[in-house]
Structure 1
């Protein structure tokens, strides 16, 4: 039986490796995922670098000379705002504009609250960090002037601050890094499905469309052997794509400016090994499920359509976890895809990992693979499946 499975496996691998376009398609996600992660981290780091000066366009800067002097001492680059500054902010040409009204000086000199306006477009994500930095500068100036006014009147500024909140962040550098690297588990899980998609489409639907499935099943080998050989080839391609993606993420993390984000992660051999042990069992279930779906397709293109829809399965838990972070419960690790993404997230956070969640996640993947392979084997005994091409 082992020799028969190996024969089918070699036949599938040889046929698949001949198709260079399929191989290039399979390798797109393993390459694009780490590359997108690297570019995203570089963009975020460039926006959050503290040594970058705040560029601030000002309307009515002559009304607040002390404020302008304070901002310049803090390293802000001030310039006169154009007349159509609101339109320029909407277009994204300006991140923000500080508007100082004419009555600012009168209210300020009388000790009243002097109001300024910070005009920005909150829908532009590129302006969020510069606006926050400018707002902190303005708040610092307000606090400084307020303290000086109280001192001038013989009042301690501490009387105006009944409670001071001191932040005590207990997050480790690895846990902070996980907030920026939460796309890594999602991409790894998606690649377990994408890696074997082309081969799973061709192994059953493609062979049936070409009319080569019937002669294959006429060979003196049980249908289960044929299914195992095709499944093994699909698993190999999925594992290969997953490992390449993991290596790509390691290179991306080593080149990413994580220090500018205030996080530290060390993608050493132990980290790589644990991540692969977490994700690779899912290749068994993903490959079997893809073959099961492909069995119902009547053509290669139809199989690809169904399997592309199946790719939504690994995306759903990742999107939910990124939008609504939840506390992991033990039963969640027994849910295929969700368990792998939760485990990968905990590995990134540097959590103390227990063996039971790994066993549950792996066992659920093996169970799904077994059910799917049994279903494919039964379907190949149905004449409507084997001979139905229209």
Structure 2
């Protein structure tokens, strides 16, 4: 039975924070609405840059081009714009980012080529470069490899040998990845993104109802009322959790609305999230709101000021990063026992959903009740903390 004290405190905190413009801007607008829109814009920008780089003419500075006239003709036939390198060395030009890739023809190239020996060329590039720079390197390497293969095939034919003899094993590729699973690989940031939004949605209220009230010295007169402290803190905690859930649901709705605007066709991928899949995502993430609200309240309870609590709780955002980063770089086969680990289980379930797979009822139930059980333990600790007099004062 929900007590009147719980209802009053819950409604008071929710109403006051809905009136607070900072809360609306930080948790609802900036996180839930601006977050998905920001990701949409970022993906469009990255796609357009990569596509433009792939389609534009390759500009390739070449050193000693006069020693490889046939290679020069091949480069020109492939639409390559051959440039002359300036006074800088190729190494310095790459370090200064004057060019993405530079080709140098070895001095012995002509003699080796004439004798039917491997003729050496050098490609200068920055292997640590990111983004569209690597596209130019791949295009240059692909063109040169293509030229090498064609010359090798001609040499074999002139000697009466079939070029197919060079292929001792023929690989027939059977890629089992669907356009949906490829879309999931592209959207592997989504679980971490949603979890961060959930934590952000409850963060402000968790701090304000604990460290904020201690700093304003409003907790002491509140606890002087002849009501249970547990009921008061339970109402505050419930309001914190509610804001986390509201932020989560709003962000998923905005994300669903922005899916049609993602450049899926341009990237050759697909991402379909039906109503049932969205409900499953909300279902497995909602218990995490209890964990987030409770642990943020616990941390904020030990802080003496709003700013101090904001610093400590802000560091808490690093926790969801660990399983998300692991799953981005490692392929893990889902086990039922993994679904009992909060945050990891949400990451696994959401990844399965966006890949178009069925998580299974057992996995969903273990995720929901395992996370909820852990969250209720933390919530109990958070409520009990305020039975201590030392927790009521900022100094």
- Which TM-score band (shorter chain)? over 0.9
Asked if 2 retains the 8 angstrom alpha-carbon contact of 1:193 and 1:283, the reply is yes
Aligned to 1:4: 5
Q: For residues 116-172 of structure 1, what are the alpha-carbon distances to aligned partners after superposition, in whole Å with 9 as ceiling and x for unaligned?
A: 111101111132222112211111111111111111111111112211223221111
Cα gap change, 1:173/1:60 in structure 2, threshold over 3 Å: closer, same or farther? same
Q: What corresponds to 2:380 in structure 1?
A: 374
Normalised to the residue count of structure 2, the TM-score between the two structures is 0.91
Q: 1:270–1:137: structure 2 CA closer, same or farther, 3 Å change rule?
A: farther
Q: Does 1:384 align with 2:390?
A: yes
Alpha-carbon distance, 1:341 to partner: 0.9
Q: Which residue of 2 aligns with 1:113?
A: 118
- Cα distance between partner residues in 2 of 1:343 and 1:41: 26
Deviation string 1:58-111 (CA, Å, 9 cap, x unpaired) is: 222232222222223223333223232432221222110111234322221221
Gaps in structure 1 of 5+ consecutive residues: none
1:241 matched to 2:242? The reply is no
Tell me, yes or no, if the aligned pair for 2:7 and 2:235 is still in contact at 8 Å. yes
Given the alignment, which residue of 57, 60, 69 partners 1:56?
Answer: 60
Mapped partners of 1:107, 1:41: distance in 2: 47
> Offset of 1:45 from its aligned partner?
5.7
TM-aligned CA deviation for residue 36 of structure 1 = 3.6
8 Å CA contact retained: 1:227, 1:373: no
Residue number among 28, 31, 34 corresponding to 2:30 in the alignment: 28
Structure 2 equivalent of residue 125 of structure 1: 130
Q: Over the residues paired in the alignment, what is the CA RMSD in angstroms? A: 2.2
Deviates most, 96-105 or 141-150: 96-105
Distance 1:52 1:274, change over 3 A: farther
Matched, 1:66 2:70: yes
Give how far 1:351 is off: 1.4
Q: What's the counterpart of residue 351 of structure 1?
A: 357
Kindly indicate whether the alpha-carbon contact (under 8 Å) linking 1:37 and 1:183 is maintained by their aligned counterparts in 2: no
1:330 pairs, out of 336, 341, 358, with 336
Select the residue among 290, 293, 296 that pairs with 1:290: 296
Change (3 A) 1:75 1:275: farther
Q: Does 1:14 align with 2:18?
A: no
Residue number in structure 1 paired with 2:308: 302
TM-score, structure 1 as length reference: 0.92
* Cα drift, residue 48 of structure 1: 5.3
Q: Kindly state the Cα deviation for residue 2 of structure 1 after the two structures are TM-superposed.
A: 4.5
Distance 1:169 1:145 in 2: 30
1:248 CA drift (Å)? 3.8
Q: Which residue of 1 aligns with 2:99?
A: 94
Structure 1 residues 124 and 53, CA gap change in structure 2 (3 angstroms): same
* Mean CA deviation greater in 342-351 or 125-134: 125-134
**Higher mean C-alpha displacement, 139-148 vs 304-313:** 304-313
Structure 2: segments with no counterpart, 5+ residues: none
1:77 and 2:81 are equivalent in the alignment: yes
In 2, distance between residues paired with 1:63 and 1:32?
Answer: 55
Contact 2:339–2:367 (Cα < 8 Å) also in 1: yes
